Structure 1
């Protein structure tokens, strides 16, 4: 199999590949000219896998559900990008989902982020259960902010000094939302 990476909805058979991707991708944050985009560069693989399994097995009516769209490199079959929507913690917020996305450096700036977002937003519309998608993005991550704005997300506000990474680097987090439908 060869060609461009493709996008598909994850299932339980993807847990190992997803966990490997998260570990590789997180390690890229702030390295070799890359922007800082992750709170931690060294997530524990087993924990990433187990938490994803728990989210992916939940029904959309259950709190903390998750649905993940994978960007798969076709030659090796590796997961090289993802976009996960996660459901709320309480019944009163089940109409909202939180978006988290990451693409490994070698696959960025090729339109894959927009394709992942189109797949996830389309899925959210089809379910009829998600009215809003929310996300947080580091203020200095201008490429991601630009993509989110192009996709229709609007800024809700900023949290200054939201995170301290890499020996105290202060990061402002921007909250953005997209109304579905």
Structure 2
């Protein structure tokens, strides 16, 4: 597996990968990893625009997004991780993480490698003081990985989502970053 920065030329392949991944969201007894109903599991035009605009944006821009792609030996995307700003300009010292790994590439250490890549970026970015993430409370494998890498749970909001008639909590985790130099 190879992890590389994503650019605008990668967006079409990224969206195809994300659509494939969303088909797995809560399917066949698997974890629910996106707060979407099974009927809504497609990459929206709005999200496509946020990713496309974000990878081109300057680090200071409100729509900035840093994306890494994990590619297999055939060059196919099998995982991703992204960082983005919060909407509030007074939160620019924090970044919010999103990630996913294709079902066929799980349990091979790829999620940990992607997280390590993002953590290293934050540790070397003097503007980033905190790396935050949110996870649906039923996604135990993701929660275990986050804790393994030092993320601390800040809180839980019970009954945060109502998806396909079921209630799910949302957990918030954070990792303080140390800056070299």
Q: Post-superposition shift, 1:47?
A: 3.7
Structure 1 runs not aligned, ≥5 long: none
Q: Post-superposition shift, 1:144?
A: 0.5
Render the CA deviation track for 1:22-45: whole Å, top value 9, x for unaligned. 111111011123111112242235
Q: Distance in 1 between matches of 2:71 and 2:17?
A: 10
Aligned residue for 1:54, secondary structure, equals helix
Asked if the contact 1:52–1:66 (Cα under 8 Å) also holds between the matched residues in 2, the reply is yes
TM-score under structure 2 length normalisation: 0.91
Q: Distance in 2 between matches of 1:24 and 1:45?
A: 13
Render the CA deviation track for 1:132-171: whole Å, top value 9, x for unaligned. 0110111111110111011110001001111122x21111
Question: Paired residues, what number?
Answer: 175
Render the CA deviation track for 1:59-91: whole Å, top value 9, x for unaligned. 11111311011111221x221111110112233
TM-score under structure 1 length normalisation: 0.91
- Give the stretch that moved more between structures: 91-100 or 46-55: 46-55
Q: Distance in 1 between matches of 2:46 and 2:16?
A: 11
- Give the stretch that moved more between structures: 52-61 or 171-180: 52-61
- Partner residue in 2 for 1:115: 113
Give me the CA root mean square deviation: 1.3
- Partner residue in 1 for 2:10: 14
- Partner residue in 2 for 1:69: 68
Aligned residue for 1:7, secondary structure, equals strand
Structure 2 runs not aligned, ≥5 long: none
Aligned residue for 1:69, secondary structure, equals strand
- Give the stretch that moved more between structures: 34-43 or 16-25: 34-43
Q: Distance in 2 between matches of 1:18 and 1:164?
A: 28
Q: Which runs of 4+ in 1 moved over 6 A?
A: none
